Amino acid sequence: MTLPQARFRDGVALRSFQGRMIILFSSLLATAMVSQFFYKTSIDSMHRALLSAVGTAEVIHAAENFHSAAHSMLVLATSDHENDRVRARTEYFKQHGIAQKMLADLMVMTGEDGGSRHPPQSGRAMVKQMAAAFGRFSTVTDTLMATEKKSDEEDTARSLFDAIFDSYIELLHQYHDDRLESLKTDAHRINRWSTIMFVFQLGLVIFAGILVALFSVHALVRPYKRAQQFALSDGLTGLRNRRYLETFALPEMADMVRKGTAFSLSLMDIDKFKGINDTYGHQAGDELLIDMARIIASGVRESDSVIRYGGEEFLILLPGAGKEHSTPVVEKIRAAIEARPFRFSNRSESVHATASFGVASFPDDSDDVRILIELADERLYQAKNAGRNRVR
């Protein structure tokens, strides 16, 4: 693969990964937005119900203040104030003003629906009745406050106050009972709606979590594993590389030494590889390395490791195999290479190639991993100096 092709492939892979990340975070954002929408809807419903409850409480409070002010007016108007008449008149008109203000407030408050199942005009009609009765009542009490001697107007004032009181009770018992019943109905509805939204949001979050987990495996874990595999693999032969040797194989051998588990390692080098490259070209050399890797991999167990150690050098790690068991395995690989006719894509004729091997074992040779590799390397060169195509 040429450099521009490699860069194009890497660019496509990067854009694909970026696209997956965008989809992942978009899914999380959409889930959060939907969840927040339902949360906001629930909060708004609760806020409206709370305001309605507060409005009902304000109406009751205003009605009670009106009733208290009217009662004070009646008491002041029907009482004898010879000792302090000026102070009594001042207090009377103060209560008169409070009653009028409360009526005005009630007129405004009962003109709003506030969640009642009946039209707001029913509450406003009650307040209008109270206002009409208060008008007649205040006319009589004003007259009583203006005269020093009380008259039969006292009975009229009391009768009118009773009429105001009846309207007050009707406002509380009818209008506000209906409002409170409506609030309870709304509270149950909001509770059901909140429960449904909670279950829906919980299910949505769980569903999104499962999708994110599955998507993460596809978009993150698998690419990471592939990247890790590429980082630890030789790009040409597909075998393990020197990074794998340093990261995993050496610690594995050290662990076997600590546990006293026998193992062997072999260093292999293709004989006269430079001559093959010079004669048939580097493409042929690469094809030979790939074929060699297949022969070696097919001659070992799955628990064994084959590592591309250098240009045309390979390291074979055989866990659990002492020298007496590892030598026959390596010899079998050597014979398979010797017997194999290699063909190159740019040549019609077949080529025969051989390889030399050096073997070192634990505990026979050493308990130091680095020394074992050095011994295998020394024996490899002994095999080459002895005529190549052999195991030492």
CA distance 288 to 197: 66
Residuewise pLDDT in 10s, the chain (392 residues): 433 444 444 454 556 656 666 776 777 777 777 767 766 777 777 767 677 667 777 877 888 888 888 888 888 888 876 667 788 888 989 999 998 998 888 888 877 544 444 445 567 777 888 888 888 888 888 888 877 655 667 777 777 777 777 777 666 666 666 666 776 777 777 777 777 777 777 777 787 777 777 776 666 666 656 655 567 888 899 899 999 999 899 999 999 999 999 999 999 999 999 999 989 889 999 999 999 999 999 999 999 999 999 889 999 999 999 989 999 999 999 999 999 999 898 788 889 999 999 999 999 999 999 999 999 999 999 999 999 999 99
Contacts of residue 311, Cβ cutoff 8 Å, sequence gap at least 6? 273
The CA distances from residue 357 to 67, 236, 299, 375, in Å, are: 112, 22, 14, 11
Question: Is 331:358 a contact under the CB 8 Å cutoff?
Answer: no
Strand order in the sheet with 263-270: 305-308, 313-319, 263-270, 355-362
Residue burial 298-310, b: 16+ Cβ < 10 Å; e: rest: ebbeeebbbbbbe
**Fold exhibited by the domain 242-385:** Alpha-Beta Plaits (3.30.70)
pTM over 0.85: no
Whole-number pLDDT of residue 384: 95
| Domain 3-208: top CATH class | mainly alpha
Whole-number pLDDT of residue 307: 95
Question: Is 293:239 a contact under the CB 8 Å cutoff?
Answer: yes
Whole-number pLDDT of residue 5: 42
CA distance 339 to 331: 12
Question: Is 373:253 a contact under the CB 8 Å cutoff?
Answer: no
Burial grade of 289 (CB within 10 A; 0-12, 13-18, 19 or more): buried
CA angle 40, 45, 49 (to 5 degrees): 145
Contacts of residue 308, Cβ cutoff 8 Å, sequence gap at least 6? 234, 236, 237, 239, 240, 241, 242, 289, 293, 314
Please name every residue paired with 307 in a beta bridge, in sequence order, or none if there are none.
240, 315
Domain boundaries, the chain: 3-208, 242-385
Provide the angle, in degrees to the nearest 10, between the axes of the packed helices 153-170 and 121-146: 160
Residue-level length of the chain: 392
CA distance 112 to 123: 9
Q: Are strands 313-319 and 305-308 parallel, antiparallel or unpaired?
A: antiparallel
Whole-number pLDDT of residue 350: 87
Give me the amino acid identity at 34.
V
